[in-house]
Amino acid sequence: VFNTPGANANAVKELVLAALLSVGMILSLTACGGGSDKETVSYKVGTEPTFPPFDTTDEDQNIVGLDMDLIKAIGKDQGFEVTFENLSFDGLIPALKAGNINIVAAGMNKDDKERQKQVDFSDAYYESQLYVVVAEDNNDIKSIDDLTPDMKVAAQTGTTGAEKVKTLKKEGKIKEAVIVDGLDTAMMQLINGDVSAVINDKPVNEAYMKKKPDKVKMVGKALNAENYGFAVAKGNDELLEKINKGLANIKEDGTYDKLVDEWFNK
């Protein structure tokens, strides 16, 4: 039976059929793959939203701000979508390293050496400086040099401002470094007289001054110069390139200026 020519022909037919079937399966698998390629990728963007106008919340507690609109516009230009995650500022880099988020958009200073060891930063998108903030009616503190060893000074945890405050404490120039989770808390403590000063980014201080007029003011000179960048996990060159390209494009087509203008004139 096995050696008859007819059986051989049948075996060949079966082989051809099997081959055709597997080619078909491969083709349909590829088609599926092609289909999912067209779905837009979505990245998780982490921030800490007590940092207006960069990172804040609206009446419904949605995360909004200049950082959010910039990264959304960059995504639109580069074909990705974003969702936002609310974290504490000192939790952002750990979350990026753990892969819980893909991007940090939080007014984060990219010039910080310790951060550069842990994450990669995009091109700079905003220049900023740290300033001392005091109560509006305080006439004793006119600069950082007027801080004295009986004073408490506040800043937000994990920030460049907190680094400054901790250094002042270490040098014995102030009594206590009050490091708090949210900037709103730091500003509240300043207004309530619980602390003598806050050290924080100039554009954000100005946003708080606008929100609560005649309560706080900035004094003295800039304490540093910093550049905000978006952060990604170390080695994520593909995403970094998209962010840099998108940023360049939205700067060129006017979207960047329009958004900055919108958020600074709210």
CB of 63 to ligand ARG, least distance (A): 10
If binding is defined by CB under 6 A, does position 196 make contact with ligand ARG? Answer: no
Torsion of the alpha carbons at 164, 166, 172 and 176, rounded to the nearest 10:
120
Which one of 53, 75, 91, 107 is in contact with ligand ARG (CB under 6 A)? 107
If binding is defined by CB under 6 A, does position 48 make contact with ligand ARG? Answer: yes
CB of 64 to ligand ARG, least distance (A): 13
Distance of CA 263 to the CA centre of its chain: 16
Name the one range near ligand ARG by CB under 6 A: 19-27, 43-51, 240-248, 253-261. Answer: 43-51
If binding is defined by CB under 6 A, does position 121 make contact with ligand ARG? Answer: no
Give strand pairing partners of 85: 46
Task: Show contacts with ligand ARG in window 168-187 (CB under 6 A).
Answer: 183
Rounded Cα distance between 152 and 55, Å, is: 26
Q: How many residues belong to the site for ligand ARG (CB under 6 A)?
A: 16
If binding is defined by CB under 6 A, does position 160 make contact with ligand ARG? Answer: yes
Of 77, 51, 76, 69, the closest CA to residue 125 belongs to 69
Name the one range near ligand ARG by CB under 6 A: 8-16, 33-41, 78-86, 153-161. Answer: 153-161
If binding is defined by CB under 6 A, does position 255 make contact with ligand ARG? Answer: no
Residue 71 or 77: which CB sits closer to ligand ARG?
71
Residue 51 or 84: which CB sits closer to ligand ARG?
51
Tell me, what DSSP letter sits at residue 216? E
Rounded Cα distance between 38 and 103, Å, is: 22
- C-alpha dist (Å) from residue 145 to 140, 176, 186, 201, 237: 11, 16, 20, 18, 43
Residue 68 or 243: which CB sits closer to ligand ARG?
68
CB of 47 to ligand ARG, least distance (A): 6
Rounded Cα distance between 38 and 141, Å, is: 59
Give the containing element (helix H, strand E) for 41: strand 41-47
If binding is defined by CB under 6 A, does position 205 make contact with ligand ARG? Answer: no
If binding is defined by CB under 6 A, does position 108 make contact with ligand ARG? Answer: yes
From the CB of residue 184, how many other CB atoms can be counted at a distance below 10 Å? Answer: 17
Q: Please name the amino acid found at residue 215.
A: K
Rounded Cα distance between 190 and 16, Å, is: 81
Contact residues toward ligand ARG (CB under 6 A) are 47-48, 50-51, 55, 89, 106-109, 156, 159-160, 183, 201, 226
